[in-house]
Homo-oligomer: A and B are copies of this chain.
Amino acid sequence: MPSSIKILGIDADDTLWQNEEFFRMVQDRFADMLAAYMPADPLHKHLLAAERRNLGRYGYGIKGFMLSMVETAIDVSQAQVPAHVIHDIVRMGQDMLSHPIHLLPGVADCLPQLADTYKLVLITKGDLLHQEQKLAQSGLGDFFNDVHIVSEKQVNTYSKIFGTDVKTAAMVGNSIKSDIVPALDAGAAAIHIPARYEWAMEKAVEPTSHPRFFKAREFKNVCDLLTQI
């Protein structure tokens, strides 16, 4: 049966390429750097609290994460942390910004196939320049008809991007909160591909009973799944 879907919105971080895994690695190194002041577990909680507090002013992305790490290091050390440790934190963030792109399994094969059949639209939140750079480095740019880098993914984000075609659109992504629920609420279908790691701020309840909610184990399963929607 041919698919009723014509347009695919596709998330980037942790859907097309690894992202959260790098954040976890950096957070572990951050905990090592500050072990003299606080054990890893409460430190992670402090950092997450700083990220939450700063989200409205910094938005998503590595620069805000770097600034939240610096702030946390100063807080938990009661301003005793030496400047060379802060220097190391900044350098670690700069390394994150220039980290090579690792595509997730199935993406390199399946995305070109999808591009033959569907209109593909990249929909990602995060830092404008860094998301552009990651897309360029991924080599996937040419498969997308359009790219939307947005500050937040809400119902009206999807309504605006899909417009009157929303009923023939499906959003593909790893975040229930940002990719799935608001896309369903806008009237699109949604395909969830769980990531290995999920950022604490993206946790949300799966809309399992929604008739247009689908799950794929890996990106390569999206191709088959779509013929059934």
- Give chain A's interface residues, CB within 8 Å of chain B: 57-59, 63-64, 66-67, 70-71, 73-74, 77, 79-84, 86-87, 90, 93-94, 97-98, 127-130, 132, 149-151
Contacts and interface: CB of A to CB of B under 8 A. Distances in A.
B71 A67 contact: no
A79 B70 contact: no
Most chain B CB inside 10 Å of its own CB: which residue of A57, A77, A132:
A57
A63 B74 contact: no
B97 A74 contact: no
A81 B83 contact: yes
Chain copies in complex: 2
Contacts of A93: 67
Contacts of A64: 63
Contact of A90 (B67, B77, B87): B67
10 contacts: A57-B94, A63-B63, A66-B67, A67-B90, A70-B86, A74-B84, A74-B86, A80-B83, A86-B86, A127-B127
Contacts of A66: 67
A151 B132 CA distance: 8
Contacts of A98: 57
B79 A84 contact: yes
Contact of A79 (B82, B128, B130): B82
Nearest to A91: B71
B70 A90 contact: yes
A149 B149 CA distance: 10
B83 A74 contact: yes
A167 to B, nearest CB: 25
A59 B97 contact: no
A86 to B, nearest CB: 6
Nearest to A71: B90
A67 B63 contact: yes
A84 to B, nearest CB: 4
